[in-house]
Structure 1
Amino acid sequence: MTGTLGDSAAGLRILQSPGKRWQGPASIRNILIRRHRTPEPRVKTAWALARSRIRVTSMIDISDGLTQDLGHILKAAKAGAELWENAIPISKPLIKHSLKNKLPALEMALGGGEDYELLFTLPPEDVKKLNIGSITKAEQPVTQIGVITDGKGIRLKDQEGRTHSLQKPLGFNHFKNKS
């Protein structure tokens, strides 16, 4: 995937709580708000991937949250996934803001949405190719955050190596509360 996750969710939370006295510097809050208000589509990275010799087998922008959008890929592929907690890219501003305000940075990264980073899959032998050429010179760094697995569902491997099932995808559901 490209970039970092959770900044937009934190920015939205700040905007939705105008009377709250947030801890930490205003400059960090402003970065998070800007990430929410002005998302940057990763067009250059998408083009770089398309022109590369990397075989991208699926791609989606993360608009509804990582687990929600990954769920769309997995449903189409009839597969599962293992995400690695320590590989989920979270920005320094979000980490600082979360620590100061006792907020769940990982939860915002997994389910926040509106980050518009690219989530994509590729064959294992192509993973090594991500560190070369125009891909890494594109807009944002690219990070491997897990692997596609047999079976169904999303599992999260924590920092101690324990694996937890994410029973219900976090993120925005367009059809929730609709009859």
Structure 2
Amino acid sequence: MIENKNPSKTALSQLGEFGLIEHLTKVFEIGQDTTIKGIGDDAAVLDFKDKQTVVSTDLLVEGVHFDLAYMPLKHLGYKAVVANLSDIYAMNAVPSQITISIAVSNRFPLEALEELFDGFALAAKHYQVDVIGGDTTSSQKGLIISITALGYAQEDEIVYRSGAGDKDLLVVTGDIGAAYMGLQILEREKQVFLVNPNNQPDLDAYSYLIERQLKPEARNDLKKLLADLEVHPTSMIDISDGLSSEILHLCKQSQVGCKLYEDKLPLDPQFINACEEFQFDSTTIALNGGEDYELLFTIKMEDFEKIKGNPHLSIIGYINPEDEGTHLITRENTQIALKARGWNALEEDND
């Protein structure tokens, strides 16, 4: 299913493990002051001095988290890095290093892995993180990617999921739901292609949605944005599994409830049009879609004036006491209990 317009295909066995690692990691440069030693020894050496270190790991499995029928390998490498860095930004920290491990089957030639690593390198350069190590091994069933991200912050800057308090405002960056609709469009075009391989899809009307699915960006702007506004979030989480799921995580960790307002959800016009075309309820998709990599956070009520009207931020609700529950307030002013209906990898795998 891998599109490879280059007729030359180099078997990985020609290089061996160490030759392969040396070949693929040439694209990575060291730029962080905290990196003392990167790739090339038994372990990397880092020095964060008086800062707190944050660490996050993600695993991506072919056939569960991505489909190479429509996911170019360069985009996959980029997205894999973004997904991990988003977790670091969700701690209000600055990412500085990543490690990359892959398990790969013999159906992948060297040229395919070069594409994947070009994506890793592009993301590392864009987000100014060093690639400092990892591992490669063989796989019986396809491609598996594991990335660990490291970052740092001053102790008083770090934001946890557990800090939301009564009457705090619920705020989200950007817009939500678009990545899920991009996936639906790609899945539809894949089915059309399988029936008629000569069909060339016209995807111009869905360009934003497809970009949100294939090449998302992490919110590396929020830490500075809030610092400039003199706003410190009380809690924060990234939106990878769907807005409702993340709100419930945040409320559980903070031992609070919330009211979320349907008419305040930030939705892109292209997203709304695609929902109408697919006959999907836009609110349901926005709440449960996932893979937006936006940031959901809470702020004190007194900071309302500081962020009001900011084009990057939407106030979508507020925190209330735990015994009042977690509810969506519809446009008709009906109160509905929030449920996490986001995509669950384990459940999907067992179906």
TM over 0.5: yes
CA contact (8 A) 1:28 1:97 kept: no
CA contact (8 A) 1:64 1:113 kept: yes
Alignment partner, residue 294 of structure 2: 117
Alignment partner, residue 161 of structure 1: 333
Partner Cα separation in structure 1 for residue 253 and residue 344 of structure 2: 17
Alignment partner, residue 118 of structure 2: none
Change (3 A) 1:20 1:161: farther
Partner Cα separation in structure 1 for residue 246 and residue 253 of structure 2: 11
Alignment partner, residue 178 of structure 2: 7
Match for 2:246 among 66, 69, 72? Answer: 69
1:48 corresponds to 2:220: no
CA shift at 1:76, angstroms? 1.0
CA contact (8 A) 1:79 1:149 kept: yes
Question: Aligned with 1:144: secondary structure?
Answer: strand
Change (3 A) 1:79 1:173: farther
Partner Cα separation in structure 2 for residue 118 and residue 164 of structure 1: 23
CA contact (8 A) 2:229 2:306 kept: no
CA shift digits 1:76-116 (9 cap, x unpaired)? 11011110000011100011111223122111110101001
CA shift at 1:42, angstroms? 1.0
**Which has the larger Rg?**
2
Match for 1:94 among 271, 277, 300? Answer: 271
- Report the TM-score when normalising by structure 1: 0.84
Could you list the structure 1 runs, at least 4 aligned residues long, displaced by more than 6 angstroms after superposition.
none
- Report the TM-score when normalising by structure 2: 0.45
Question: Aligned with 1:159: secondary structure?
Answer: coil
CA shift at 1:174, angstroms? 5.1
Structure 1 alignment gaps of length 5 or more = none
1:107 corresponds to 2:107: no
CA shift digits 1:9-28 (9 cap, x unpaired)? 0011112222359xxx7322
Partner Cα separation in structure 2 for residue 39 and residue 28 of structure 1: 18
Which of structures 1 and 2 has the larger relative contact order (alpha carbons within 8 angstroms, sep 6+)?
1
Q: Identity of counterpart residues, as a percentage?
A: 34
CA shift at 1:55, angstroms? 2.6
CA contact (8 A) 1:67 1:154 kept: no
Structure 2 alignment gaps of length 5 or more = 1-171, 194-201
Partner Cα separation in structure 1 for residue 347 and residue 274 of structure 2: 29
CA shift at 1:53, angstroms? 1.6
Question: Aligned with 1:17: secondary structure?
Answer: helix
Query: Which has more strand, going by share of residues?
Result: 2
